[in-house]
């Protein structure tokens, strides 16, 4: 999934490479005045930029690259303050232009503004996600409300908004191409959605709420990180029963890194928790690891997030009320594919009964295994993964640890490069050591080119391993977008994971699920690299659509071309046996009850929290009571419990948008069938060409629903999703994700 650096939806959308252009049709006096103001702004910031690397233009090869090797956290606050000040001066110049508003002197100038701030955000994002520290978190907490105030000053600049509105009102009668018209509409909508139409006290209160929310989002995220860093478990050698050799070696290396050589560290992150719960024979330790992980942000201490959630919900509700909306979800979904909370909820509730029914079947199978072993237990949440693995072995003769022996991280990366070459015509070549600065020695960089022409497309950074100060999970981000309107800018894309580094010289082995996630996040990077839009804003995404491209790329992991050439044993180099591949494919829908239900529970709670009156809400109580009403099986828990639901409460990117993974997966399943039905299968050149042309290259320059219809010739159908998950397919009447207005 792409990470939002900070909650600056409008400012980030408007920020682009700095520059200026002479405006045809302006009076010479107006043009001279405009240029004088721009020169003054540039001169005012030049001295600071010269001494602060975070503000400096990116230099070096590949169109310039961030100076990650020279970034210092003490430079961050002055860099942010200088960049915001300069950006506001640029905004004032645009708003005060005496010439009549046009696309060129208003919308394009907004696209050019904020270059310094964009560069600072690239570094900010690294500290926030990859290299956090107490020093950074203090600055982050201090600057969050200032950044929100900065955003409000742009959105609430009425002179600027009136210029944007004037261009918007004339969009159909102006000589604009389709891409430019789309840009005008997106720019106007971002202003209108974020309070630009408010007046007087309403406008002031809107800004105050944004400032407070920014503080709360930062505190929420830092509380999660504190609980992840504060609950490591160190094991002795007699507590390792059942754990795979590769996991034990990684746990030993992590313990040594943390100053406990001779012991074995289980970090409080998903990458440690998930395999431990799958393999450890020690039930008490499984329970401890489970409780540590799922109680993050919910321990009744200084890092407890429940009061923060309650305040966030109240403030969000108050803010959208100022704009005339009944609830936050109604406001948030107006520019998404789903359009309304009802449409999103209808899809989730169509899948929920089948998922819960499958959980009951899975639990019955697990309980039977436990009873046969005379374990004397009733399946609890900390038993689910452990006994599911036993059922997998019994039903499909499939051992997840055996599969891992053929899933080497480096080989998987090579497989992804192969897929990118076949579908996108890209090649990936490692850059010369030292030619591109990196922020940690683990980060590696590749140059991406067009296979046929040799044209430089961009750079791809990979930061694969867990470390202190790095948030858990996996994500993709961009340091620079593709644009062409002021000369071509090439892409700087990054993938980030939390694999546990093995012993020196040993390959990193990963699970099948982790391999899919690796492909998933690479799908985001390919979406960035394939961009063919002119303007920065058009590189943005629609939340319930942007996961589609990445989820689709997961499908290539299980293609014969990848299996036959890249899944080889880490010791012998022998290809994965055909009979093991057959078992993997046969078990493709195994445990879908668990996977779908834990996800949907989080998505439904997200939606219900934001369609409920938040007055006096107790998040813990709301979570428990809502899950009971939904019929949540007691043997599992939400994938992201409310107190650590960072997607929703450390910012607004996924708030009421977590359903989007399911919405996107309907598109994914349907699109995958287009490949499966084609003559060339998943490597069919014609279908791949349509995929890149209609679903990757346009980014947000085309409405997602229209883009999908251009690819498939119709709306996506839910039946494909149900088939993929092994659930009963609805009746003969087709159910689609076409939007109900």
Distance between CA atoms of residues 185 and 432, nearest Å: 43
**Helix (H, G, I), strand (E, B), or coil: what is residue 571?**
coil
Phi first, then psi: give them for residue 400, nearest 5 degrees: -60, -35
Tokens 């038993």, residue located = 383
Residues 187/14, Cβ–Cβ less than 8 Å: yes
Is the torsion defined by CA of 657, 662, 668, 671 positive or negative?
negative
Residues 520/475, Cβ–Cβ less than 8 Å: no
Chain Cα centroid distance, residue 526: 14
Distance between CA atoms of residues 229 and 268, nearest Å: 7
State the catalytic residue, choosing from 521, 547, 598, 635.
521
Contacts of 183-190 with CB under 8 Å at 24 or more apart are 183/107, 183/111, 183/535, 183/537, 183/538, 183/701, 184/103, 184/107, 186/13, 186/537, 186/538, 186/540, 186/700, 187/13, 187/14, 187/107, 187/110, 187/537, 188/164, 189/335, 190/9, 190/10, 190/13, 190/14
Strand partners, 480: 492
Distances in Å between the Cα of 343 and the Cα atoms of 350, 602, 626, 736 are: 11, 17, 20, 11
Distance between CA atoms of residues 389 and 341, nearest Å: 36
How many other C-beta atoms are found inside a 10 Å radius of the C-beta of residue 410?
12
- 373 an active-site residue? no
Distance between CA atoms of residues 287 and 219, nearest Å: 28
Longest alpha-carbon distance in the chain: 90
Burial 7-17 (b: 16+ CB within 10 A, else e): bbbbbbbbbbb
The residues assigned a catalytic role are 521
């Amino acid at each position: 999934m792409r990470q939002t650096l900070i909650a600056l939806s409008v400012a980030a959308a408007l920020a682009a490479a700095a520059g200026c252009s002479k405006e045809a049709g302006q009076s010479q006096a107006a043009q001279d005045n405009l240029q004088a103001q721009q020169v003054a702004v540039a001169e005012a910031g030049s001295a600071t930029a010269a001494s602060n690397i975070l503000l400096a233009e990116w230099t070096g090869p590949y169109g310039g690259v961030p100076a990650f090797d020279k970034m210092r956290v003490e430079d961050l606050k002055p860099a942010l303050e200088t960049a915001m000040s300069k950006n506001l001066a640029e905004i004032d110049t645009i708003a005060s232009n005496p010439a009549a508003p046009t696309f060129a002197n208003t919308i394009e100038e907004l696209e050019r503004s904020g270059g310094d701030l964009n560069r600072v955000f690239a570094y900010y994002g690294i500290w926030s996600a990859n290299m956090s520290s107490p020093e950074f978190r203090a600055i982050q907490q201090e600057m969050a409300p200032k950044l929100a105030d900065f955003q409000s000053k742009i959105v609430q600049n009425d002179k600027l908004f009136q210029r944007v509105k004037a261009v918007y009102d004339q969009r159909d009668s102006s000589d604009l191409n389709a891409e430019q018209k789309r840009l005008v509409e997106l720019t106007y909508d971002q202003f209108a959605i974020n309070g630009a139409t408010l007046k007087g006290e309403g406008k002031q209160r809107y800004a105050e709420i944004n400032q407070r929310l920014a503080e709360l989002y930062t505190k929420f995220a830092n509380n999660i990180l504190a609980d992840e860093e504060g609950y490591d478990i160190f094991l002795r050698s007699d507590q390792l029963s059942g754990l795979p050799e590769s996991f034990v070696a990684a746990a030993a290396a992590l313990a040594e890194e943390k100053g406990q050589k001779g012991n074995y560290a289980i970090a409080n992150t998903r990458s440690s928790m998930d395999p431990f719960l799958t393999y450890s024979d020690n039930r008490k330790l499984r329970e401890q690891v489970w409780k540590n992980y799922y109680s993050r942000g919910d321990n009744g201490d200084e890092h407890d997030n429940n009061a923060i959630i309650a305040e966030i919900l109240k403030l969000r509700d108050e803010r959208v009320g100022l704009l005339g909306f009944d609830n936050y979800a109604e406001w948030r979904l107006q520019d998404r594919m789903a359009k309304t909370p009802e449409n999103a909820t209808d899809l989730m509730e169509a899948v929920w009964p089948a998922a819960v029914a499958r959980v009951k079947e899975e639990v019955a199978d697990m309980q039977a295994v436990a009873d046969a072993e005379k374990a004397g237990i009733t399946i609890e949440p900390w038993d689910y993964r452990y006994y599911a693995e036993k059922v997998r072995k019994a039903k499909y003769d499939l051992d997840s640890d055996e599969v891992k022996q053929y899933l080497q991280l480096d080989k998987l990366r090579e497989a992804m490069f192969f897929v990118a070459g076949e579908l996108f015509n890209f090649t990936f070549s490692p850059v010369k050591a030292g030619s591109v600065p990196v922020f940690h020695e683990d980060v590696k960089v590749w140059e991406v080119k067009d296979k046929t022409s040799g044209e430089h497309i961009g750079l791809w950074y990979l930061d694969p391993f867990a470390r202190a100060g790095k948030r858990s999970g996996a994500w993709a981000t961009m340091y620079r977008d593709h644009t062409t309107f002021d000369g071509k800018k090439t892409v700087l894309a990054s993938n980030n994971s939390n694999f546990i580094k093995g012993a020196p010289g040993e390959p990193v082995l990963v699970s099948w699920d982790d391999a899919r996630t690796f492909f998933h996040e690479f799908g985001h990077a390919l979406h960035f690299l394939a961009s063919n839009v002119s303007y920065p804003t058009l590189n943005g995404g629609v939340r319930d659509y942007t996961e589609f491209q990445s989820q689709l790329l997961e499908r290539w992991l299980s293609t014969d071309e990848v299996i036959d050439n890249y899944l080889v044993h880490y010791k012998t180099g022998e290809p994965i046996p055909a009979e093991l591949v057959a078992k993997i494919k046969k078990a493709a829908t195994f445990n879908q009850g668990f996977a779908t239900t834990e996800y949907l529970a989080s998505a439904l709670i997200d939606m219900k929290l934001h369609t409920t009156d938040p007055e006096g809400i107790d998040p813990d109580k709301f979570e428990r009571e809502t899950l009971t009403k939904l019929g949540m099986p007691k043997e599992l828990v939400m994938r992201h419990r409310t107190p650590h639901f960072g997607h929703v409460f450390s910012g607004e990117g996924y708030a009421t948008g977590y359903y989007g993974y399911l919405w996107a997966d309907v598109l994914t399943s349907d699109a995958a069938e287009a490949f499966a039905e084609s003559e060339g299968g998943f490597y069919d050149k014609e279908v791949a060409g349509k995929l890149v042309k209609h679903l990757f290259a346009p980014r947000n320059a085309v409405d997602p629903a229209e883009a999908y219809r251009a690819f498939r010739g119709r709306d996506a159908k839910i039946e494909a999703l149900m088939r993929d998950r092994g659930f009963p397919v609805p009746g003969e009447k087709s159910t689609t994700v076409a939007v109900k207005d």
